[in-house]
């Protein structure tokens, strides 16, 4: 059996096969991993089933770094070659509909139908993955500017905001505050961007909650973009403003909240500058 480096052709074949399984998995269609592996073997350079399975785990790790969902049965395996990352990027470039698959998504916002979102603790130094794994994930995210990609995906962002809107209304209703639930507003939809937050909601005791929603299909440490205006509003209205980070959105949305000052939770890096003439 070959132990040599995988060629671009081999990487392209296995990546395409992985996405075929992932599409079935996301949609709940049955598929057989063993059949997929064995179907690939004649097309590869004398690879073993074990090496193919491990490569599928490598692809899961790459997708994790790219802020995308992956096949749960293929636990991410790290220390992969960057040529595999390039192969995944090639597949995504040839299949733009995959990243834009939320463009037509509509989320039910009725109070009775909305399911609560699981809200957990935010990422910290104490719960971060091993350093080498984290660095490989962050390197991929920087190289392909995952944060900017999520920001440009208006369908994904809108679907996330709508899902949080439903969550806020349902949470207030379950707390016996139907009166407040009826007053929750989708500000970015009704008034347009520029307020510095997306949703105007309330705590059960009536205190205002100004919620900026950031959505990704990836893991909880996927980087995100935040605007100068959003940061300014966060500082001006510290007691009311919060960032609602929605992750794993394509599967089972999970979330955590960050409260100002944001630089206590994340590293803020300037990614662009305004140029003014002298």
Instruction: Tell me, yes or no, whether 105 lies in a domain.
Output: no
Domain CATH code at residue 202: 3.40.1350
Instruction: Enumerate residues 6+ apart whose C-beta is below 8 A from 166.
Output: 107, 108, 109, 110, 111, 113, 114
Instruction: Tell me, yes or no, whether 106 lies in a domain.
Output: no
Residues 169 and 257 reside in one and the same domain: yes
Q: Percent of the chain beyond pLDDT 70?
A: 92
CA gap 68, 213 in Å, rounded: 18
Residues 80 and 20 reside in one and the same domain: yes
Full domain range(s) for residue 24: 8-97
Helix (H) or strand (E) holding 241: strand 241-247
| Whole-number pLDDT of residue 104 | 43
Pairing relationship of beta strands 199-202 and 208-215 according to DSSP bridges: antiparallel
Summarize pLDDT for 127-154 with one digit per residue, the tens: 888 888 888 888 898 888 899 888 888 8
Q: Residue 223 region, left (φ>0) first, then alpha (ψ -120 to 50), else beta?
A: beta
CA gap 183, 161 in Å, rounded: 16
> Do 118 and 170 form a contact (C-beta atoms < 8 A)?
no
Residue from 197, 183, 192, 171 nearest 259 by CA: 197
Instruction: Tell me, yes or no, whether 225 lies in a domain.
Output: yes
165 versus 250: the higher-pLDDT residue is 165
Instruction: Tell me, yes or no, whether 276 lies in a domain.
Output: no
User: Mean pLDDT across the stretch 27-51?
Assistant: 94
| Whole-number pLDDT of residue 21 | 97
> Do 139 and 78 form a contact (C-beta atoms < 8 A)?
no
> Do 30 and 24 form a contact (C-beta atoms < 8 A)?
yes
User: Mean pLDDT across the stretch 92-112?
Assistant: 65
100 versus 105: the higher-pLDDT residue is 100
Residues 92 and 138 reside in one and the same domain: no
Residue from 18, 22, 142 nearest 82 by CA: 142
Q: Provide the residue count of the chain.
A: 278
Residues 149 and 241 reside in one and the same domain: yes
Summarize pLDDT for 226-240 with one digit per residue, the tens: 999 999 999 999 999
| Whole-number pLDDT of residue 7 | 95
User: Mean pLDDT across the stretch 19-24?
Assistant: 96
> Do 196 and 228 form a contact (C-beta atoms < 8 A)?
no
Instruction: Tell me, yes or no, whether 93 lies in a domain.
Output: yes
CA gap 19, 71 in Å, rounded: 9
211 DSSP β-pair partners: 199, 242
Residues 254 and 139 reside in one and the same domain: yes
- Give me the residue label for tokens 């399911």: 115
CA gap 220, 215 in Å, rounded: 10
Instruction: Tell me, yes or no, whether 102 lies in a domain.
Output: no
Instruction: Tell me, yes or no, whether 33 lies in a domain.
Output: yes
**Cβ atoms < 10 Å from Cβ of 15:** 23
Residues 149 and 245 reside in one and the same domain: yes
Residues 83 and 166 reside in one and the same domain: no
Residues 153 and 87 reside in one and the same domain: no
- Give me the residue label for tokens 């949305």: 253
| Whole-number pLDDT of residue 108 | 45
Query: CA triplet 148, 150, 155: central angle to 5 degrees?
Result: 135
At which of 52, 81, 97 does a domain end? 97
| Whole-number pLDDT of residue 109 | 43
Summarize pLDDT for 7-18 with one digit per residue, the tens: 999 999 999 999
Whether residue 168 is predicted with pLDDT greater than 90 in this model: the reply is yes
| Whole-number pLDDT of residue 62 | 95
Instruction: Enumerate residues 6+ apart whose C-beta is below 8 A from 52.
Output: 14, 37, 40, 41, 44
Residues 93 and 170 reside in one and the same domain: no
Residues 139 and 211 reside in one and the same domain: yes
How many domains in the chain?
2
User: Mean pLDDT across the stretch 45-72?
Assistant: 93
Whether residue 251 is predicted with pLDDT greater than 90 in this model: the reply is no
User: Mean pLDDT across the stretch 169-173?
Assistant: 95
| Whole-number pLDDT of residue 107 | 47
Residues 215 and 93 reside in one and the same domain: no
Summarize pLDDT for 77-99 with one digit per residue, the tens: 988 889 999 999 999 999 988 87
Instruction: Tell me, yes or no, whether 275 lies in a domain.
Output: no
| Whole-number pLDDT of residue 127 | 81
Sign of CA dihedral 118, 122, 125, 131: positive
Residues 160 and 233 reside in one and the same domain: yes
Query: CA triplet 234, 106, 173: central angle to 5 degrees?
Result: 65
User: Mean pLDDT across the stretch 194-219?
Assistant: 96
């Amino acid at each position: 059996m070959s132990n040599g480096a995988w060629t671009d052709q081999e990487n392209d074949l296995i990546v395409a096969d992985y996405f075929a399984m992932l599409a079935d998995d996301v949609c709940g269609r049955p598929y057989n991993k063993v059949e997929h592996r064995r179907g690939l073997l004649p097309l590869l350079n004398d690879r073993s089933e074990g090496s193919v399975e491990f490569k599928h785990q490598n692809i899961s790790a790459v997708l994790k770094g790219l802020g995308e969902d992956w096949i749960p049965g293929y636990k991410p395996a790290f220390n992969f070659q960057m040529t595999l990352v390039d192969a995944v990027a090639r597949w995504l470039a040839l299949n733009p509909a995959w990243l834009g698959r939320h463009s037509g998504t509509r989320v039910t916002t009725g109070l009775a139908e909305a399911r609560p979102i699981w809200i957990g603790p935010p990422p910290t130094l104490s719960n971060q993955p091993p350093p080498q794994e984290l660095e490989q994930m962050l390197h991929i995210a920087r190289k392909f500017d995952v944060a900017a990609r999520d920001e440009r995906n208006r369908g994904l962002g809108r679907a996330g905001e709508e899902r949080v809107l439903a969550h806020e209304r349902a949470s207030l209703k379950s707390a016996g505050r139907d009166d407040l639930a009826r007053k929750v507003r989708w500000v970015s939809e009704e008034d347009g961007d520029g307020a510095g937050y997306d949703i105007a909601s309330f705590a059960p005791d009536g205190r205002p909650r100004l919620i900026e929603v950031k959505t990704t299909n990836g893991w909880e440490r996927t980087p995100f973009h935040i605007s100068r205006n959003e940061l300014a509003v966060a500082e001006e209205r510290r007691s009311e403003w919060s960032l609602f980070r929605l992750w794993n959105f394509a599967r089972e949305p999970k979330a955590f909240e960050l409260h100002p000052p944001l630089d206590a939770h994340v590293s803020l890096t300037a990614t662009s500058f305004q140029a003014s003439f002298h």
